[in-house]
Structure 1
Amino acid sequence: MTDAAALWKSLETLEFPTLAALFAASGRLDRYATTLDLPGGPIRFDWSKTHLHQAAETILGDLATAQGFAEKRRQLFDGEPVNNTEGRAAEHTAQRGIGAAASVVEAEALHERMKALVDAIHEGLLGDVKSLIHIGIGGSALGPALAIDALTRDGARVAVHVVSNIDGCALEAAFKLCDPATTMIALASKTFTTTETLTNAASALDWLRQGGVDDAYGRVIALTAAPEKAVEWGVDDTRVLPFAQSVGGRYSLWSSIGFPIALAIGFDGFAEFLAGAAAIDLHFLETPIERNIVVRAAFADLIYTQALGCQTRAVFAYDERLSLLPSYLQQLEMESNGKRVTTDGRPLGRPSAPVTWGGVGTDAQHAVFQLLHQGTHLIPVDFIAVKIPGHDLDPVHHQILLSNCFAQGAALMAGKASDDGARAYPGNRPSATMLAEDLNPATLGALIAFHEHRVFVSAALLGINPFDQFGVELGKAIAKQIDTGGGKGFDASTEALLAAAGFGE
């Protein structure tokens, strides 16, 4: 066996004491709960209720060495082609000012271009703009949607409506909230060839024209890594905000894809968002493994997927403003690390990413926590909460919210014995908690960057490429084949469904 294979075997056969036994030893909280002072305020990262322990950390630390983790991390930040299947770097950190010098300079210049357009809109130089319909899909939509929903509950400089679904109901819902006379359209597509985005864009142009807008194209802003295609499509080159090819879709909200965020909260707020992420970048890059909160989280993730047979991880945001965060993290992890081969094309031969899922507390407690507490599956849980509430109602609301969050983690760990099996809780069920002092642009940036790097660490130790996503291409190709009249030669079920839906009539 290779060194890595032997180390994986050691992890798989390692004994993992119960959480109660781990807490019986002294110093656990000091070792596994860390508060970082960050630009948006402190965040406490508590991984003490996981099955991390010194022997497991030693094995995983040795595995990190065997898999060249430190070198892979350096390559990531230095802008080397870590996306080996596409021959590209992955330079989302350069958008935050941490990376190869030339890439940082380029990112700053593109941010200045974006700032100029944002400021022009805010100053009324492009007319009376009250709304923006942001059209994208995947990473081009989910990141902006998360940030805008989280950060504009008290109002926005410009109201932003994010549309991603090709289902016309989504676009019609946005139309109903906007006036064509005061609305601009942002088209977000890295390649500017995305079928769903361009189809929605054509309908948005029709809506503007039907609403009396003579120069519909003059209301369009393109966010893309293919600016020439946007211009060819009809967008004025002064309204094109480019970003680098080395910025992947699900990592792109730090680039010009973040234009709707800046438009909604102001460019100063967007700069704070970048600064919060950059602080995590520096922690991840400079902090030794044994004190690195990102590495610690990834180590725990690997214990559960590789040694304890967990196929899923649940994420619950105990803050309504973060209701889209579980969905965002679902895409981040499952599209990044849902791979079956290593970077050299060999079968991975072990589990890769868990299925990431979740919801919002306290709603989820009354829907899915039954399985977490008493079901037959072992599911690690992440809790994310904020100390300062996002509302001005009676403080009892937030007190109940946080008490429920902390109680769930305590109950999962402790369990409760009973002679009545239906009322018995086995306990020894792991959870981690992230508690932010406040929710602001910098805090949100830090939380997202933390999870980006957490995913990268797992990929580095597994030896997979987290920056490509070929798995989404086959279904898209078949859909295009059907749309162009090639809906034949499929299995009997698919052909029957096509016939039932009226294709080919």
Structure 2
Amino acid sequence: MASMEVLWGDLLRHRADFDKFHLRSALADDPYRFNRYSIEMEGDLTLDYSRHRISDKTLLLLESLFEQAEVRGRFADMCAGKIINETEHRAVLHTALRGGVDEVSVNGQNVTKDVEEVKQRFLAFASGVRDGTIRSHTDEAFTDVVNVGIGGSDLGPRMVTQALKGWTDGPNAHFVSNVDGAHLGDCLENLNPATTLFLVASKTFTTQETMANARAARNWIVSTLGEDAPGAHFAALSTNADAVQAFGISTERMFEFWDWVGGRYSVWSAIGLPVAIAIGPERFEEFLSGARAMDEHFATAPFRANMPMMMAALSLWYRNIWACGTQAILPYDQRLENFPAFLQQLDMESNGKMVRQNGKPISRPASPVIWGSAGTNGQHAFYQSLHQGADMVPCDFLIAAKPTDASEDQHEMLLANCLAQIEALAFGRSEENVRAQLAAEGMSDDKIDRIAPHRTFAGNRPTSLLLYEQLTPHMLGRLIALYEHKVFAQGVIWGVNSFDQWGVELGKVMANRLLGSIQSGEKGEEDPAVFQRLMSYRAD
């Protein structure tokens, strides 16, 4: 088999095959293109990738790249608990959190057993909060739950709780992450301390932003209900028992997760407690089962029928062969409003690297910039650039065939808008077509000459469509795991460690040092010149 570098060279040369390619012709000339370039899973989830600048030869070359990199073998290593996060010497086992796997051990510890024990504990706690058997300091049922976290301890549960709002029948869920006091203040403004429960999500229970917000929340409870109240109004998602107890939370209300669970992969663990409280343990199990189904699909489906591999391959094709620096995530589902931000962390924190596992620089750029917004709002913001901008931006569209709880008329309008954007990006509108239309409207020739270029759309812009029956807990679990595995496969191809985040750690270290300088008013040796200006503004 050809080496990785030879395959990359073949792909670069293959790009020239598309110099005269246009999706308008490709789709018109091949009535079976959708059948050849789509994947269906479980009869209710389809990936349509027929609107891409690809051919069978493209997929053969990309498949060879995946085989040469041994993507499937690396995934098996991950699921078996092998140390694949080499810079931190850790296993990576978020797949084990989904359950239904054979026994996995890390350093002699039965991970599968530990996962089940903690899950049963936090699901029992969720049930107690939901049915009112776990009550407040004033012996009232909780009406509101505030998750205090940041990064993966916030983005994951926030996104999932919002996405599954149509399935929510528990207390109202709120999320606070920003250390800016306005975030917590705005959240608490209309809440009742006597019926508010806080979940503090920090593995070490030392995360600066999270603990600052947690202390402020504790003061809010104490100021109203007294010094003895916090124990009834707080639970911890952490492993630091001493710090949790010092804060005033019993270890009976501490739910552990492990160092082999990265923050951006942690919603399947106790970090998912706010989700379980919102939708209930049974639906939370359905959420896990969806992810488990995608794990099995990724591990066993052949390349051409494998959704995560195909999505990873297409992203590599555009990032490294077509030099596309960004990728847009465009869910036509308001409940998935936070999905682009969640995927932004998942992808860019995982693969936003310049160094390979072996410590050597990577030979080609890795993670693109991930961004996006829920449709149809984005159509009135940045879609102009998607259609006529100078940069080609590959797009992932997501839409449900059936609404969760919206009106059928509105959902049909949403479907029409989503499909129209995909068609417009692929087909565009030729200048010949524009001129004919303007002439039919009676416009003069000289005016047509001026106007036609502005109404011409090149098209040929690549899109994927993820079409699913309905956004259920099981479906959402599959969608999240789909992107997890996509990011994993890309990381293997690029040779980076997708499971550390030293860039995040650097910012934390520098923030701690600068905090001391700001509090003391004394400039440190490495502080920027703007420090003095900052302090002068504070003095005023």
When the two structures are superposed, what TM-score results if normalisation uses the length of structure 2? 0.89
Deviating more after overlay: 478-487 vs 395-404:
478-487
Distance apart, 1:467 and its partner CA: 0.6
Corresponding residue number in structure 2 for 1:204: 217
For residues 353-502 of structure 1, the aligned pairs below 5 Å read 353-393=367-407, 395-418=408-431, 420-485=452-517, 487-490=523-526, 492-502=528-538
For 1:477 and 1:497, the matched residues in 2 are separated by 22
Corresponding residue number in structure 1 for 2:37: 32
Other structure's SS at 1:360 match:
coil
Matched, 1:331 2:345: yes
The answer (yes or no) to whether the contact 1:387–1:435 under 8 Å persists in 2 is yes
Other structure's SS at 1:382 match:
strand
Matched, 1:156 2:169: yes
Corresponding residue number in structure 2 for 1:50: 52
Distance apart, 1:154 and its partner CA: 6.4
For 1:277 and 1:252, the matched residues in 2 are separated by 13
Per-residue CA deviations over 1:343-382 (Å, capped at 9, x if unaligned) read 1110012110010000011110010010000010000011
Per-residue CA deviations over 1:191-217 (Å, capped at 9, x if unaligned) read 221000000000000000112243213
In structure 2, the CA distance between the partners of 1:3 and 1:487, relative to structure 1 (3 Å rule), is farther
For 2:95 and 2:70, the matched residues in 1 are separated by 20
Query: Please, which of 114, 117, 122 is the counterpart of residue 109 of structure 1?
Result: 117
The answer (yes or no) to whether the contact 1:488–1:495 under 8 Å persists in 2 is no
The answer (yes or no) to whether the contact 1:78–1:99 under 8 Å persists in 2 is no
Matched, 1:175 2:188: yes
Corresponding residue number in structure 2 for 1:3: 3
Amino acid at match of 2:492: A
For 2:57 and 2:316, the matched residues in 1 are separated by 14
For 1:405 and 1:119, the matched residues in 2 are separated by 38
Matched, 1:143 2:156: yes
Deviating more after overlay: 478-487 vs 81-90:
478-487
Amino acid at match of 1:11: L
For residues 29-108 of structure 1, the aligned pairs below 5 Å read 29-37=34-42, 42-97=44-99, 99=101, 101-102=103-104, 103-108=111-116
Other structure's SS at 1:329 match:
helix
Corresponding residue number in structure 1 for 2:442: none
Corresponding residue number in structure 2 for 1:121: 129
For 1:105 and 1:43, the matched residues in 2 are separated by 32
For 1:354 and 1:392, the matched residues in 2 are separated by 34
For 2:242 and 2:510, the matched residues in 1 are separated by 27
Matched, 1:349 2:388: no
In structure 2, the CA distance between the partners of 1:52 and 1:234, relative to structure 1 (3 Å rule), is farther
Other structure's SS at 1:101 match:
coil
Deviating more after overlay: 48-57 vs 157-166:
48-57
Per-residue CA deviations over 1:139-167 (Å, capped at 9, x if unaligned) read 00011111111112465311111111111
Other structure's SS at 1:13 match:
helix
Deviating more after overlay: 420-429 vs 220-229:
220-229
Distance apart, 1:431 and its partner CA: 0.4
Per-residue CA deviations over 1:103-144 (Å, capped at 9, x if unaligned) read 233211111111221122223222211111110000000111
For 2:198 and 2:163, the matched residues in 1 are separated by 21
The answer (yes or no) to whether the contact 2:166–2:405 under 8 Å persists in 1 is no
When the two structures are superposed, what TM-score results if normalisation uses the length of structure 1? 0.95
For 1:166 and 1:379, the matched residues in 2 are separated by 33
Query: Please, which of 16, 22, 38 is the counterpart of residue 18 of structure 1?
Result: 22
Distance apart, 1:502 and its partner CA: 2.7
Other structure's SS at 1:466 match:
coil
Distance apart, 1:180 and its partner CA: 0.7
For 2:385 and 2:479, the matched residues in 1 are separated by 27
For residues 194-343 of structure 1, the aligned pairs below 5 Å read 194-213=207-226, 214-343=228-357
For 1:48 and 1:211, the matched residues in 2 are separated by 60
Distance apart, 1:232 and its partner CA: 4.1
**Contiguous gaps of at least 5 residues in structure 2:** 105-110, 136-140, 436-451
For 1:68 and 1:402, the matched residues in 2 are separated by 39
Distance apart, 1:98 and its partner CA: 5.2
Amino acid at match of 2:40: T
In structure 2, the CA distance between the partners of 1:72 and 1:99, relative to structure 1 (3 Å rule), is farther
The answer (yes or no) to whether the contact 2:348–2:367 under 8 Å persists in 1 is yes
Deviating more after overlay: 128-137 vs 28-37:
28-37
For 2:533 and 2:503, the matched residues in 1 are separated by 23
Once the two structures are aligned, what percentage of the paired residues are identical? 36
The answer (yes or no) to whether the contact 1:79–1:100 under 8 Å persists in 2 is no
Corresponding residue number in structure 1 for 2:441: none
Other structure's SS at 2:267 match:
helix
Distance apart, 1:9 and its partner CA: 1.7
The answer (yes or no) to whether the contact 1:91–1:99 under 8 Å persists in 2 is no
In structure 2, the CA distance between the partners of 1:173 and 1:153, relative to structure 1 (3 Å rule), is farther
For 1:303 and 1:173, the matched residues in 2 are separated by 44
Amino acid at match of 1:242: E
In structure 2, the CA distance between the partners of 1:35 and 1:264, relative to structure 1 (3 Å rule), is same
Per-residue CA deviations over 1:400-431 (Å, capped at 9, x if unaligned) read 11100000000000010125211110010000
Other structure's SS at 2:249 match:
coil
Other structure's SS at 2:225 match:
coil
The answer (yes or no) to whether the contact 2:39–2:306 under 8 Å persists in 1 is no
In structure 2, the CA distance between the partners of 1:66 and 1:228, relative to structure 1 (3 Å rule), is farther
Deviating more after overlay: 96-105 vs 167-176:
96-105
In structure 2, the CA distance between the partners of 1:325 and 1:299, relative to structure 1 (3 Å rule), is same
For 1:389 and 1:143, the matched residues in 2 are separated by 22
Amino acid at match of 1:462: W
The answer (yes or no) to whether the contact 1:60–1:299 under 8 Å persists in 2 is yes
Distance apart, 1:69 and its partner CA: 1.6
For 1:295 and 1:107, the matched residues in 2 are separated by 28
Amino acid at match of 1:126: I
The answer (yes or no) to whether the contact 1:139–1:251 under 8 Å persists in 2 is yes
Distance apart, 1:3 and its partner CA: 1.7
In the comparison of the two structures, how many residue pairs are matched? 499
Distance apart, 1:84 and its partner CA: 1.1
Other structure's SS at 1:253 match:
coil
In structure 2, the CA distance between the partners of 1:129 and 1:492, relative to structure 1 (3 Å rule), is closer
In structure 2, the CA distance between the partners of 1:487 and 1:8, relative to structure 1 (3 Å rule), is farther
RMSD: 1.8
